[in-house]
Amino acid sequence: MKYYTSKTTGAVYSFAADGSDDGFITEDLEPMNDAQLYAHLNPPLTPRTRAQVEALRLAAYANPLTGSDRFFAEAQREGLLGRAEVAEAAKLAGLQRFAEIQASYPWPAE
């Protein structure tokens, strides 16, 4: 693809690299240089909102394979069954995974 930007509006247009679309290239369009093209194709990421981070954390906690909730459920079950050692190990694993998830999705700077 060949990328052009409009001198008047700043809009970006792409045309086929084989030249079959060259008839649509007007005087108003100028080719984009490598830096402009990179900036257009890789826009800066917008920071996540607090609500987005909260949603990501909740989904991660509840993930049945990699979440922390499964360890807490196991700890509660084992505690009810009277297996305190197993319950404590599951609780510690849950707390560790909980902290890892929080580190993966930090709160945005306000």
What does the angle CA 44 – CA 66 – CA 77 come to, to the nearest 5 degrees?
Answer: 145
pTM, full prediction:
0.62
Mean pLDDT, range 89-110, rounded to an integer: 95
What are 49-88's pLDDT values in tens digits?
A: 999 999 999 999 999 999 999 999 999 999 999 999 999 9
* Cα 27 to Cα 42: distance, rounded to the nearest angstrom: 27
* Cα 28 to Cα 2: distance, rounded to the nearest angstrom: 15
Residue carrying the six token digits 């108003």: 28
CB atoms within 10 A of CB 87: 18
Residue 109 confidence class, pLDDT cut points 50, 70, 90: confident
8 A C-beta contact, residue 73 and residue 12: no
